[in-house]
Structure 1
Amino acid sequence: MNVLVAFIITMAVLLISLIVFKISPGVSLFSCAVLMALLCGLPLNDILSYITSGFGNIMTAIGLLILFGGIFGMMLGDSGGMEELAKGLLRTFGKKNDMLALNLAGFIVSIPVYFGSAYITLNPLVNSLQKLTKKDTSAYVAALFTGLLLTHCVVAPTPGPLAVAGQIGANIGWFIIYGIIVSLPASLLCGWQYANILNRRSFAVNSEAIKKEAAALSENAELLKADKTKPSAGLTLALIAFPIVLIVINSIFKAVLPAKHPFVIFFGFVGNNNVALFIAMLLTGIVLRRYLVPLSASSLWNYIDKVSDKMGNILMVIGCGNCFGTILQKSGLDTALVELLSKMNIPVLLLAFVLAMIIRAAVGSATVAMLTAVAIVGPSAVAMGYSPVIIGLAICTGTVGLTLPTDAAFWLPARYSNITVKEAFIATTWPTTFAGLTGFLIILLLNAFSHILPGLL
């Protein structure tokens, strides 16, 4: 069967199974991976190889991040630390600006920290803020998710944008500066403001219940006072910052010191994403031991065993999602999409953006989409006179939109924030797609003035 037809059929089956029949996401994703492979006529032995390698590769990449980061986040949440941090944010920014605070936190944290571990680390804050304010959980997820994804996809030194800049010879410094110029307005408009609109819509639907809760919070300032029986907001923030600082120090030392310098070697180990989160998990457990031990029968280690059991379902969904993504890649879907778009004579800058967006939606990987699109469009666009920074950012911005069930990132809010698949589309797919389009409009504006703007010639 034609690969594009097979993809449309498979996606229809996936969405119907998830939304209409509410079949387990792991089961649906694995089944659709097999369906897509069979429709495309892949050999049975190859199907088995692709599925197992897809699961293994994603576990190698983020399996430990999910496990350690999940336990780390649950420790902060179960101890009451995230609730205290939520109160602190509300006291500092005001109850009206909580979405802004969450969006900016995501935007900043995802520059040095891998998207998955950043979301897992900050997600308990979503749950704690929702308990305090009774606002729509999907709105908080949209604010955080959009901020995180924009810098993950657009702002170097995250790996994808860095690779794109390197492939087309863009100046890294200017790439970072213009990446922030492109992504920050998109984050504020499509993360913060979209989240506020989403919350107001929910408020209108559930007005009576929410009004009572909001009135109680507004009238009783005692609710926002620090609770001395729980970890303080400052301690919680310090624990969250600890792995981030390790990762950032690692990145800085690698950039400014020789490869064999002792600091580079040492922080290259402790600043590794997996190791940093493992150390943070242990440190948090020890520091918050007196708050956590009462939650289990006997000890901190019993608590860790207890909460680690909850990670199995998340690992299944993420792993099966990458099985599906691997089959899509091996089916030749990206090549078919390129051929289709090339026949339509789309302008080069628009082609770079659209191609990256569609490949990302199809194969579920922003990095794969970036590298594929830049290999196809990048050299010819630069040869035609386009700024390497402009064409590179158009590709990166394209990978922000169309966050679909093919992408492991789609399932993080559904699993960690306890929202439905339908709500996950509202909280992730729509705002990130709007953000991608907004970023592209800014790029078009920059391109129009590229002859006078510094760093774009």
Structure 2
Amino acid sequence: MSHTALLLIAAVGVATLLLLILRAKVQPFVALVVVSIGVALAAGVPAADLVKTIEEGMGSTLGHIATIIALGAMIGRIIELSGGAAAFAHSLIDRFGSKRTPLALTVAGFVLGIPVFFEVGLIILMPIAYGVARASRKPLLVYALPMGAAMLTVHAFLPPHPGAVAVAQAIGADQGLMLLMGIPVTAVVILFGYLVSRRMTRREYPMDPAVHAEVYGEEPTTAETGGGSAPASTGPKADDGHGTAVLTRPEPTTTDPASQPPSVGTVLALIVAPILLILLGTLGQNLLADGSAPRAVLTVLGAPMVALLIDVALCAYVLGARRGWERARIADVMTSALPPVAMVILVAGAGGVFGKVLVASGIGDAIADVLDRTGLPALFLAFLMTLALRAAQGSATVALITTAGILTPLLQRADLSTGQLSLVALAMGAGALAVSHINDAGYWMFTKLAGLDVASGLRTWTVLTTVMGVAGFGLTAALWPLV
């Protein structure tokens, strides 16, 4: 079959995928599988090989990422239900002081966003932002906007989040290198986003009266629904010595260890532990001699699945058993982490099926030929394609997985190093961060919790995520000559 025909089939397949998700509201997992079967048959994959191709695509993808996503979800769930996430955020607020509370919540979003999924993190931290806004009498958006953007940045860029893990597996990037380069990149992007959000929140935005009443404890006046100053707090507050109201926490009324939140140091150590193990594994493979015992040990401990498994055990003991949780409760908490990520895992597997079909049908090579002739760098193509798919269908994970399947043949032909492939994966993350708008569930979740209308959400959340995504791509491009 000619390249033109294969490219036409690919274009129709992607368009059909978007129509099924956007117009027909078909679940992305089902849409990906249906489109994969249709593309395979149209491109001439023998009917006898169709099921085998689908099984290979699903198996090769889920064999790598299913355990990582599940274990990461368990870590986040234990930290959440132990009270560790809220305790960590409150501690940062105390340490940063009232004037830098927005920065403290941004840092909390960055750190907690590593083990906790974006939607879950938003549910955990938004009540804290409510309390701070109530006590400080400042607009909620001052605190919520940079905090939410920080969590979305980590969700798009870094393992163990599903999109980043799936991209690393598909294109052959190293998750250790992605973390080694990605953590500084995301930190700079988040700091940049914090500074941009400070300028954005200087102006006033209308606030949903129901959210206003929930945050500030009373109905807004006419001026306040137009974004004016918040009313005096009816919640607990104290003075920080400078005439500024700050959030206070109620003193614990019991000495039961299970009811006491863990210390911030404990939570931070448990979040950082798997990252350090993965980084040590990567450094060991690059710096130690082949066949040496230290390299073998670090390679095993630094495997993402092993590192996360060790951290699950540490979380279960430190945040659970040591604080009085029974074994049955620990097991129930771990189990409760799995249903929310089950569909994410299946969507990632279906993305692997789509990628396998592109390779088996020859469409991948045809696309690689066309992209080669454009003369555009692989890094830019990765960012631009992910951004376009993100803008078109809304899901960052689907955009990452689909782009990885389309670009894998081109990246294999380009003979890039592992470090360069890791930067390509980060560039895809930058594209997935940008253009969060009305077709993105995360957009609606943030704007509803923040009390924003559609126009205000587009002017704040959408603009901020897009600016941060472009900045993230700029940083990855700046690192390209160094790897």
Match of 2:107 among 88, 101, 107: 101
Match of 2:211 among 209, 212, 219: 209
Q: Which residue of 1 aligns with 2:36?
A: 33
Equivalences for residues 344-383 of structure 1 within 5 A: 346=374, 348=375, 350-357=376-383, 364=401, 372-373=409-410
Structure 2 CA distance for aligned equivalents of residues 329 and 187 of structure 1: 36
Q: Which residue of 2 aligns with 1:287?
A: 318
What amino acid does structure 1 have at the position aligned with 2:283? I
- Which is worse superposed, 81-90 or 331-340? 331-340
Contact 2:106 2:146 in 1 (8 A): no
Structure 2 CA distance for aligned equivalents of residues 133 and 204 of structure 1: 18
Residues 134-153 of structure 1: per-residue CA shift (max 9 Å, x gap): 4688864542343565577x
1:65–1:401 CA distance, 2 compared to 1 (3 A): same
Contact 1:67 1:308 in 2 (8 A): yes
SS of the aligned residue for 2:41 comes to helix
Match of 2:350 among 320, 329, 335: 320
Q: Which residue of 1 aligns with 2:428?
A: 399
Q: Which residue of 2 aligns with 1:241?
A: 272
Structure 1 CA distance for aligned equivalents of residues 310 and 479 of structure 2: 43
C-alpha deviation, 1:67, in angstroms? 1.5
Match of 1:143 among 134, 144, 150: 150
1:92–1:121 CA distance, 2 compared to 1 (3 A): farther
Is 2:66 the partner of 1:63? Answer: yes
Equivalences for residues 428-443 of structure 1 within 5 A: 434-435=467-468, 437-438=470-471
Contact 1:401 1:434 in 2 (8 A): no
Structure 2 CA distance for aligned equivalents of residues 320 and 236 of structure 1: 34
Contact 2:358 2:405 in 1 (8 A): no
What amino acid does structure 2 have at the position aligned with 1:144? M
C-alpha deviation, 1:235, in angstroms? 1.7
Structure 1 CA distance for aligned equivalents of residues 109 and 12 of structure 2: 36
Structure 2 CA distance for aligned equivalents of residues 403 and 286 of structure 1: 35
SS of the aligned residue for 1:230 comes to coil
Contact 1:59 1:319 in 2 (8 A): yes
Residues 12-51 of structure 1: per-residue CA shift (max 9 Å, x gap): 3333433444333322222222233234343223332222
Q: Which ranges of structure 1 fall in alignment gaps of 5 or more residues?
A: 110-117, 153-157, 166-171, 380-387, 405-409
SS of the aligned residue for 2:289 comes to coil
Q: Which ranges of structure 2 fall in alignment gaps of 5 or more residues?
A: 131-139, 160-166, 217-232, 239-245, 253-258, 390-398, 434-438
Structure 2 CA distance for aligned equivalents of residues 46 and 245 of structure 1: 43
Structure 2 CA distance for aligned equivalents of residues 216 and 3 of structure 1: 64
C-alpha deviation, 1:71, in angstroms? 1.3
C-alpha deviation, 1:56, in angstroms? 0.9
Contact 2:368 2:409 in 1 (8 A): no
Is 2:308 the partner of 1:301? Answer: no
What amino acid does structure 2 have at the position aligned with 1:403? A
Structure 2 CA distance for aligned equivalents of residues 292 and 341 of structure 1: 58
Identical-pair percentage:
20
How many aligned residue pairs are there? 401
1:11–1:194 CA distance, 2 compared to 1 (3 A): farther
Match of 1:230 among 261, 283, 291: 261
Structure 2 CA distance for aligned equivalents of residues 87 and 56 of structure 1: 42
1:261–1:30 CA distance, 2 compared to 1 (3 A): same
Residues 40-80 of structure 1: per-residue CA shift (max 9 Å, x gap): 34322333222211211121111111121111211111111
1:25–1:36 CA distance, 2 compared to 1 (3 A): same
Contact 1:374 1:395 in 2 (8 A): no
Structure 2 CA distance for aligned equivalents of residues 125 and 104 of structure 1: 10
Q: Which residue of 2 aligns with 1:335?
A: 365
Structure 2 CA distance for aligned equivalents of residues 333 and 140 of structure 1: 41
